[in-house]
Amino acid sequence: MAIYHQDIADIELNSGSLHRSFLGHSIGMGDAAANRFGVRVFRDGVAETLSGVTCQGFFRNANGQNIALTSYGTISGNVAYVTLPQACYNVEGMFTLAIKLVGSGVTGTMRIIDGMVDNTNTGSAVAPTGSVPTYQEVLSVYEQMQAALSNYDAKVTEQDGKIDSLKSAVNDVKEWLGYPTNLFNGTFTTTHTSNWGIAQDGNDVTFTHLSQYTTGVPATATLDLAEGTYTFSANYNGETNALSLYNGTSYVRTLAENDSIIVQSGDAPILKFAVTPAQGNSVTISDIFIGYNSNDGVITQLSDDINQLFETTGGLSAEIDDLQEGFADISEPVIGKLTGEETVNQTINRSGSLITAGMDTYRVLKFQVTAGKTYWLTANANYRNLLWCFYDNNDNVIQLGTESASGATFTSVTDQEVTAPTGATYIRTTYNTTVKQGACKAQTGYTLAKKWVGKKWVCVGDSLTAENSRTTKHYFDYVAEETGITTVNMGDSGSGYAREQDVGTAFYQRIGDCPTDADVVTIFGSFNDLGAGLPVGSVDDTGTTTLAGCINTTIDNLQAVIPLVNLGIVAPTPWDTTQPSTSGNAYNYVEMLKAICERRSIPFLDLWRCSNLRPWDADFRALAYSKDGGSGTHPDENGHKLIAPRFKGFLETLLM
């Protein structure tokens, strides 16, 4: 005899809801009186005296046989229960038990239990799926994941900082050894003095096109170098220009931006600048380094050491990139708005300087940034002022941003992507309150990379949806794993739109229990209705005397609870006895489902004809119906995996 088990559920009469549960363990085949199932009845939280009330049970076994348990009910105080007789243990497989109370004020079905009779000699058997985690448990795991990802991001930032510090230290050593040290060791001359102006400010040489009529005329400047070994590099700031190296009057080669040369002693080198900015524009040649190296051997060895260090740090950075890519499968970045300092009645001119705007509607926002990191800017400006600009800690301009058009019309950007350049610690953006609020966004953390996290999918169906021994993984489990969607299982073995209406569990009878916060609902099934003893009926039938009427009533009852429901109806998958055809009961049933959906503008998925399941093929049944006792009705894990993509694609049409 199996281990004795008693299962009593609390029922609140004034809640108006039917208690339905799946038995967390199996009961043993061949037992007798080994299980009691019942209810503990309350009204407004107070125990309800069941004096004069009778308890009745209605048991349906896996063969569809109904066993009336009218003489096996017991009343004790506010508890009513049914003890299962031996007849309930004779057939292996799924069973459904309905408990009904009859008496003044409490008449009606109180509870429905779905369970399994197992052919076992070891007593109570554990459900094959094990325990199901609660929402709080899942939420806890999710929060732990977020914390781990945030911690990882902090470590990546810390490591990147160490790499930047190492590179900075290497550059400090280079400067300390005189590699290079001197800037602009020479004199400058120019031609076209009537049309051009040249200014040297610190380490920059600026050429300005002054002529109102002459365009495209190059201005030149030369720099004579004394004998010695030099290293040279330049940054042209993106303007059209050319810098050439001459040995005396002989042309050697043209240099690119950030190019480097070594001028050997004994030569008579001349560096010639030739720039052609557009009329009215200026071009600045900056970051020109000309250094004298007295000890080539020391510099060469230092250069080798530096290269080796950079290879090491570069490899470490690559490892970090690999780790970040690895997390892409389980996480995605969260982009959020940054908090900045705002100043009123200011804007940013073309050179990056803050100027008074003359109106309080003009604003400037200042945000702290990290070099190399991506940001998304919303800004606007007019009168050729800048929309944004990068600065260092001393408010020196690091990089000029987008320039607005001339005139009063505003140039606007929304979520324009920019990357903070090397040396930048701040960015300023401008906006006008009459146009659009300015903003700066950046990655602020991670979340699980699941497209439907937070969405709720209610799955209504028969035994292909209900938890049972035929599979440990359903179609909705596969979809939830890939998308992060939350599922609510409203499957009931043996039920259909009409089937089981005698015990109160037909689709139309329990659809009203659907959670009202559902984002999407699917109704899947059911060829069980072919055994309900009802005619198919007409597409516009109401009531519950035809299959069509039960289908329409199910839809009506759901829309009464959730008027704006995203509903999808799914035809049953084929059974070994209902192979797709163009005639017969199964054909008429699916065609009625399809016609009702078309009439009521409800999305329809025809899994009878497009499931990829072939239960009429014995070899296929062995692969995808391995737990169905030789039948071809209930697919196993492999079968559910085949139909899962169809459900996911269907949900794509129902969810954002």
Q: What is residue 149's predicted lDDT score, i.e. its pLDDT?
A: 65
Maximal C-alpha separation, the chain = 121
Q: Is the pLDDT of residue 553 over 70?
A: yes
Q: Is the pLDDT of residue 399 over 70?
A: yes
First to last CA, the chain: 53
Residue 306, SS3? helix
Q: What is residue 215's predicted lDDT score, i.e. its pLDDT?
A: 36
Average confidence (pLDDT) over 245-264: 57
Q: Is the pLDDT of residue 118 over 50?
A: yes
**Residue pair 613/605 in contact by the 8 Å Cβ criterion:** no
> Cα–Cα distance between 559 and 553 in angstroms, integer?
10
Q: Is the pLDDT of residue 225 over 60?
A: no
Tokens at residue 198, please? 């040249």
Residue 516, Cβ density class (10 Å: 0-12 exposed, 13-18 middle, ≥19 buried): exposed
If we measure between CA atoms, which residue out of 482, 518, 463, 523 comes closest to residue 645? 482
Average confidence (pLDDT) over 595-613: 94
DSSP H or E stretch at residue 253: strand 250-255
Q: Is the pLDDT of residue 510 over 60?
A: yes
- Per-residue pLDDT band at 315 (split at 50, 70, 90): very low
- Per-residue pLDDT band at 87 (split at 50, 70, 90): confident
Q: Is the pLDDT of residue 543 over 90?
A: yes
The answer for residues whose C-beta is within 8 angstroms of residue 307's C-beta and 6 or more apart is: none
If we measure between CA atoms, which residue out of 221, 225, 227 comes closest to residue 204? 221
> Cα–Cα distance between 114 and 94 in angstroms, integer?
7
Which has more pLDDT, 595 or 206? 595
Give the burial string for 339-368 (b: 16+ CB within 10 Å, else e).
ebeeeeebbbeeebebeebeeeebbbbbbe
**Residue pair 39/73 in contact by the 8 Å Cβ criterion:** no
Average confidence (pLDDT) over 542-558: 95
> Cα–Cα distance between 162 and 323 in angstroms, integer?
17
Q: pLDDT over 90 for what percent of the chain?
A: 37
> Cα–Cα distance between 381 and 557 in angstroms, integer?
56
| Residue 309: CB atoms within 10 Å | 14
User: What is the β-pairing status of strands 397-400 and 346-348?
Assistant: unpaired
**Residue pair 483/450 in contact by the 8 Å Cβ criterion:** yes
Q: Is the pLDDT of residue 125 over 60?
A: no
Q: Is the pLDDT of residue 289 over 50?
A: no
Q: Is the pLDDT of residue 389 over 80?
A: yes
Dihedral Cα 134, 120, 615, 464, nearest 10 deg? -30
pLDDT in tens, 57-86: 999 888 888 888 888 899 988 899 999 888
pTM (2 decimals)?
A: 0.39
The answer for residues whose C-beta is within 8 angstroms of residue 219's C-beta and 6 or more apart is: 190, 191, 192, 195, 196, 198, 207, 209, 274, 275, 276
- Per-residue pLDDT band at 512 (split at 50, 70, 90): very high
Tokens at residue 343, please? 């100043």
Residue 196, Cβ density class (10 Å: 0-12 exposed, 13-18 middle, ≥19 buried): buried
Q: What is residue 546's predicted lDDT score, i.e. its pLDDT?
A: 94
pLDDT in tens, 616-637: 999 999 999 999 988 999 999 9
Q: What is residue 177's predicted lDDT score, i.e. its pLDDT?
A: 42
Which has more pLDDT, 174 or 338? 338
Which has more pLDDT, 247 or 87? 87
**Residue pair 570/650 in contact by the 8 Å Cβ criterion:** yes
> Cα–Cα distance between 381 and 362 in angstroms, integer?
9
Q: What is residue 306's predicted lDDT score, i.e. its pLDDT?
A: 41
CATH number, domain 5-127: 2.60.40.10
> Cα–Cα distance between 539 and 394 in angstroms, integer?
77
> Cα–Cα distance between 407 and 350 in angstroms, integer?
14
Which of 134-148, 151-165, 183-197, 370-384 has the highest mean predicted lDDT (pLDDT)? 370-384
Q: What is residue 136's predicted lDDT score, i.e. its pLDDT?
A: 59
Q: Is the pLDDT of residue 198 over 50?
A: no
CATH fold of the domain at 456-652: Rossmann fold (3.40.50)
Q: Is the pLDDT of residue 265 over 80?
A: no
> Cα–Cα distance between 479 and 458 in angstroms, integer?
13
Q: What is residue 195's predicted lDDT score, i.e. its pLDDT?
A: 37
> Cα–Cα distance between 74 and 250 in angstroms, integer?
115
Q: Is the pLDDT of residue 402 over 70?
A: yes
Average confidence (pLDDT) over 192-219: 37
If we measure between CA atoms, which residue out of 279, 283, 274 comes closest to residue 236? 283
DSSP at 495? -
Q: What is residue 321's predicted lDDT score, i.e. its pLDDT?
A: 55
The answer for residues whose C-beta is within 8 angstroms of residue 111's C-beta and 6 or more apart is: 9, 11, 18, 19, 20, 21, 37, 38, 39, 98, 99
What DSSP string runs through 3-39?
PPEEEEEEEEGGG---EEEE-SEEEETT-SS-EEEEE
Residue type, 263: V
> Cα–Cα distance between 193 and 642 in angstroms, integer?
80
pLDDT in tens, 446-482: 554 456 777 899 999 999 998 887 887 899 988 888 7
- Per-residue pLDDT band at 347 (split at 50, 70, 90): very high
Which has more pLDDT, 92 or 199? 92
pLDDT in tens, 155-190: 667 766 666 666 565 555 445 444 333 333 333 333
Token pair 């954002």: residue: 656
| Residue 78: CB atoms within 10 Å | 18
Q: Is the pLDDT of residue 310 over 50?
A: no
Average confidence (pLDDT) over 285-314: 39
Residue 6: what are its φ and ψ, rounded to 5°?
-125, 130
**Residue pair 73/80 in contact by the 8 Å Cβ criterion:** yes
CATH number, domain 196-292: 2.60.120
Which of 279-283, 323-327, 433-437, 537-541 has the highest mean predicted lDDT (pLDDT)? 537-541
Q: What is residue 236's predicted lDDT score, i.e. its pLDDT?
A: 43
The answer for residues whose C-beta is within 8 angstroms of residue 602's C-beta and 6 or more apart is: 555, 567, 568, 569, 596
Q: pLDDT over 70 for what percent of the chain?
A: 64
What DSSP string runs through 348-377?
E-TTS-EEE-SSTTEEEEEEE--TT-EEEE
Tokens at residue 525, please? 């099934």
Q: What is residue 133's predicted lDDT score, i.e. its pLDDT?
A: 47
- Per-residue pLDDT band at 655 (split at 50, 70, 90): confident
Distance of alpha carbon 52 from the chain centroid: 57
DSSP H or E stretch at residue 481: helix 475-483
Residue 129, SS3? coil
Q: Is the pLDDT of residue 121 over 90?
A: no
Q: What is residue 499's predicted lDDT score, i.e. its pLDDT?
A: 93
